[in-house]
Amino acid sequence: MLGVDIGGTGVRAARVADGAITSEVARVPLQVRSVGEVVSRVAELHRELGGTSVGVGMPGFVRQGVVLGSPNFPEFTGVDLAGALRDALGVPVAVGNDANAAALGLWRVRGGTEDLVLLTLGTGVGGGVILEGRPLVGRGGTAAELGHIYVGGARRCGCGGIGCLETWCGTVGLVAAAAERGHAVTCGEDLVEAAESGEVWADEVLDAAAEHLGKALVTLVNTFAPDVVAIGGGLTAARARLMPAVDWLRRYGVPPSVSRVEVIWEGAVDAFAIVGGAEFAALQARR
């Protein structure tokens, strides 16, 4: 199987067997974010790496291979991407959301038996929910938008809502929180550095991020009762400072669900997205 991860600036792919990457991870840049460009780049990677079936993670709302909407790839709205790729490649193709791909990949790498939630703290906050071996997608393709769990506050989110988790733990939210205290940072790493060097305002921003992450963890665990909650993405470099989120969960969550959940920290999730892309193809073949 070939696992493919489509990003804003490039497409990455690798061969995957039994939940493990078995080739180099090849990457080609995207010149434009058009359907034609994406199809030809994926075809190029398929010619190079092979694969009797192909699974793709795509940013946006995807249901049964059709892109229902994608803020970063507006031209794809309504496009049957799986169908277009199948026609171009001549092999079965499955397409799903990229964050769901990362969650599904982690699920597969961990043995494919657990109910799992992945929360990714990066530029935005995303993630996926895998229950009984399947990503939770919903009929509209927009379920499990974990960055937009309401945790409070007055900052407006890129999604149009107010008080989303992303406004506390995504890069834009952290930058805004620093600016509210009169300090300019460009990323979470800057903030961690400032906190390490004893800047009280940076501590306050990270403490607030941890508290609101904790509230989101309570909601996730109370709602889905997963075996595992994995926290990944760039901000997990500040893991030690985010740990109070887990205390928050232990203190306020529903006891039977909290007592069985394991919280793990994962860092980068790029490799999981490729494994999970391939897993979309495996799920489709079993359907």
Query: Which lies closer to Zn ion via its Cβ, residue 155 or residue 239?
Result: 155
Provide, rounded to whole angstroms, the least separation between the CB of residue 253 and Zn ion. Answer: 22
Which residues in 49-65 are b (16+ Cβ under 10 Å) and which e?
A: bebebbbbbbbbbbbeb
Query: Which lies closer to Zn ion via its Cβ, residue 157 or residue 185?
Result: 157
Provide, rounded to whole angstroms, the least separation between the CB of residue 155 and Zn ion. Answer: 10
The DSSP-derived string for 119-175 is EEESSSEEEEEEETTEE---TTS----GGG-B---SPBPTTS-BSBTHHHHSHHHHH
CA distance 46 to 34: 18
Provide, rounded to whole angstroms, the least separation between the CB of residue 56 and Zn ion. Answer: 25
For 83, the 3-state DSSP assignment is: helix
Task: Establish if 157 lies at the interface with Zn ion (CB under 5 A).
Answer: yes
Residues within window 94-153 making contact with Zn ion, judged by CB under 5 A: 148
Report the residue from 45, 49, 164, 258 that binds Zn ion according to the rule CB under 5 A: 164
Query: Which lies closer to Zn ion via its Cβ, residue 176 or residue 225?
Result: 176
* Cα 198 to Cα 39, 193, 203, distances in angstroms: 49, 9, 8
Provide, rounded to whole angstroms, the least separation between the CB of residue 157 and Zn ion. Answer: 3
Which listed range, 53-61, 92-100, 114-122, 160-168, lies at the site for Zn ion (CB under 5 A)?
A: 160-168
Query: Which lies closer to Zn ion via its Cβ, residue 68 or residue 283?
Result: 68
Provide, rounded to whole angstroms, the least separation between the CB of residue 126 and Zn ion. Answer: 11
Kind and range of the H or E element at 69? Answer: strand 66-69
Which listed range, 48-56, 95-103, 159-167, 248-256, lies at the site for Zn ion (CB under 5 A)?
A: 159-167
Query: Which lies closer to Zn ion via its Cβ, residue 155 or residue 183?
Result: 155
For 162, the 3-state DSSP assignment is: strand
Provide, rounded to whole angstroms, the least separation between the CB of residue 182 and Zn ion. Answer: 25
Rg over CA atoms, the chain: 19
Task: Establish if 161 lies at the interface with Zn ion (CB under 5 A).
Answer: yes
Provide, rounded to whole angstroms, the least separation between the CB of residue 167 and Zn ion. Answer: 7
Query: Which lies closer to Zn ion via its Cβ, residue 152 or residue 161?
Result: 161
Q: Are 230 and 119 in contact (CB under 8 A)?
A: yes
How many Å separate Cα 228 from the centre of its chain? 15
Amino acid, single-letter form, for residue 197: S
Q: Are 196 and 231 in contact (CB under 8 A)?
A: no
Task: With CB under 5 A as the rule, give the number of residues binding Zn ion.
Answer: 5
Task: Establish if 174 lies at the interface with Zn ion (CB under 5 A).
Answer: no
Kind and range of the H or E element at 256? Answer: helix 255-260
Query: Which lies closer to Zn ion via its Cβ, residue 42 or residue 164?
Result: 164
Query: Which lies closer to Zn ion via its Cβ, residue 156 or residue 251?
Result: 156
Kind and range of the H or E element at 185? Answer: none
Report the residue from 91, 159, 208, 225 that binds Zn ion according to the rule CB under 5 A: 159
Sequence-separated (6 or more) residues with CB below 8 Å from residue 95: 55, 56, 57, 58, 62, 65, 67, 81, 82, 85, 280
Provide, rounded to whole angstroms, the least separation between the CB of residue 194 and Zn ion. Answer: 26
By CB under 5 A, name the binding residues for Zn ion: 148, 157, 159, 161, 164
